[in-house]
Chains A and B, each alone.
Chain A
Amino acid sequence: MSPDRLSGDVDAGPLLRLDRLTKRYPGVTALDDLTVEVPRGRIGLVGANGAGKTTTFRLLLGLAHPTEGSVEVCGIDVAADPIGVRTRLGYMPEHDCLPLDQTAADVVATFGELSGLPARAARQRASDILDLVGLDEARFRPIGGFSTGMRQRTKLAQALVGDPELVLLDEPTAGLDPLGREEMLALVARLGTFGISVLMATHLLDDVQQVCDHVLMIDGGRLVVFGATDSLLERTGRITIDVGVAGAQLVERLRAVPLAAALVEGLVEVDVDGDHHLDVVRDVIAELGLPLHRLTTRLTSLDEVFLDRASVRP
């Protein structure tokens, strides 16, 4: 990898370009007319079970052919050069996929060689990457004796050993305890600083919110929404106001304006649409002479964004 990749200058084009991507199996449409351009970075691929996440991964890897449309990864048309695409990708499946009777060092080194690295370089990188994911002490132990967390780390290590431009992570925190989950997410978050883009499929929106800078939501094979995580959260337009014990009075007055207001656990929540609504809220509070202890923009969770967008999708 050149230093350019770390600075993001290696390719001005998008990381992924899906153009009317459709995949049908007998009796089911896994992906339906998906069109989106995804920039480099850490991307969350979000959807319920059966939403089309795994199918998307198979299409990106060139392991399945689209029924219609096309897909480009790092500027390469997957249909034209699936092998070329795979040299740039790392893949961490959701399910168990490791040979249990081999050591982590051996497995990761072998997958390094399978990624095209010379044997010596693969062994050296396997050692480095296992160190990076926190398995330096355990790398000469058979994987069969590993905990779930250690196996997940080994899976991540084999995905990284080939020095990919993009790594596909399928439910990387599945089966992990809270501490293991935090550690895995911290590792995923670090990948961006290494110049490696991440596409993380998950149904845990908290994970995405924690580490991803963009979110691609799909439901029933169709695009729900794509955008920067921050922008999606800001777009919710709900503010939280703390006026002490006079919350009920403020709610009543705001509803008379009318603004959608509610008292939630002693705090007033108001749906606002633009700065003029904020001006109205300010004026009402001043008019009532209430003490304003706190006024914050309430960011809805990605769960709410997903439910909201999925429900209005045609």
Chain B
Amino acid sequence: MSLTGAVYDRGYRPYDGARGARGAATLALYKASMRRALGLRRSWRQKIAPFVLLGVVTIPAIVNVGIGYVTRDQLIDRIELITYRDYVGVSSALLLFVALVAPDVICPDRRQHVLPLMFARPLSGPDYVLAKVGAVATILFLFSFLPQVVLFLGNMLVSDGAFTYVREHLDIVWKVPVAVAILAVFYAVIGVALASLTDRRIVAGAAIIGLFLVTSIASGILTENASGGSYGALLNVLALPLYLRDVVFLGHVDPVEPLGGVAHGGLLAAAVYVAIVAAGAGVLLWRYRWVER
């Protein structure tokens, strides 16, 4: 038998298909950042933290639904361990998630000198910022929204009538995503902005947690003995979006909150929210201004 064959040098094949511009590049960076944050296309170690934390934040919903299922035939009032409004909240898992994800999507680009490669593409500084903040905000949204979906579907299925439950809770369908979006954008901007100030993930993560804890403690001290609410509550970066969550769910800030007794507390919270998001965006645009200099 004779062996015949040839080794082919496939050479270079030019690309003559469709080609996107800035929008396509921004979307590509957004998707790549999402994959990175979730550990996709990376080793299994990188997948542990995000998915374990997602599991942790979903546990209350599962427990709540489980209790509803167990007690569905008993003649007792419905036991609700957690409400939709409470569930749009700040947990240790969420804090850890922000401190984990935001530095991971932005610090390595600077530390490993990847930025020159990025900006040699049809991509501007603001495009880069938009893609990174968008990726983190999306992940935080999913992180907070998916447990709500589990809670809603579970409650619906264990209720006496699924259609009745949905009809009675139609407002939840828009209130939850709006409140979660407010939370996600806020923490994403703060997290990414802080992370952009260093190229070390551990430092960025510590700075993010530190900011939340320090402002929370400082605000707590200022509002501790104040009766009828205190402006000091606005210093609490950690809780600020929760006041807006209350506005979404209740139409006003919850009176039991430190900002509850302050006149126009909701408006003030919104103003501070916008100011902080604008400041964070300003920091990010400043950090990546060199590309246009």
Contact = CB atoms under 8 A, between A and B. Distances in A.
Contact of B15 (A6, A63, A163): A163
A306 interface: no
Contact of A106 (B41, B114, B292, B293): B41
A116 B10 contact: no
B194 to A, nearest CB: 21
Given A116-B24, A132-B12, A61 B17 contact: no
A90 B116 CA distance: 11
Interface residues of B, number: 40
Nearest to B118: A114
Interface stretch (B88-96, B119-127, B161-169): B119-127
B28 to A, nearest CB: 3
Contacts of A158: 117
Interface centre among B22, B31, B121 (most CB of A within 10 A): B121
B117 A91 contact: yes
Interface residues of A, number: 53
A99 B120 CA distance: 16
Contacts of B118: 114
B227 interface: no
Contacts, number: 125
A128 interface: yes
A116 B20 contact: yes
Contact of A121 (B17, B41, B108, B117): B17
Given A116-B122, A194-B11, A194-B14, A97 B20 contact: no
B113 interface: yes
B238 to A, nearest CB: 31
Interface in B25-42: 25, 28-29, 31-32, 41-42
Contact of B25 (A64, A116, A118, A142): A116
A263 interface: no
Interface in A157-183: 158, 160, 162-163, 168
B113 A121 contact: no
Interface in A122-150: 122, 125, 128-129, 131-132, 142
Contacts of B28: 110, 113-114, 119, 122
Contacts of B113: 93, 95-97
A86 interface: yes
A93 B113 CA distance: 10
B14 A91 contact: no
Contacts of A116: 19-21, 24-25, 121-122
Given A1-B16, A116-B122, A83 B117 contact: no
Given A63-B119, A97-B117, A102-B41, A121 B15 contact: yes
B22 A83 contact: yes
A110 B32 contact: yes
Interface in B83-131: 108-109, 112-114, 116-124
Contacts of A132: 10-12
A21 B43 CA distance: 47
A5 interface: yes
B278 interface: no
Contacts of A5: 14
23 contacts: A61-B119, A63-B120, A65-B293, A83-B122, A83-B123, A83-B124, A96-B113, A101-B43, A101-B46, A106-B41, A111-B117, A113-B25, A113-B31, A115-B25, A115-B122, A116-B24, A122-B28, A125-B15, A131-B10, A132-B10, A132-B12, A158-B117, A193-B12
Interface of A: 1-2, 5-6, 61, 63-65, 83-84, 86-87, 89-91, 93, 95-103, 106, 110-111, 113-119, 121-122, 125, 128-129, 131-132, 142, 158, 160, 162-163, 168, 190, 193-196
Leading 4 A-B pairs by shortest Cβ distance: A113-B28, A1-B14, A91-B120, A163-B15
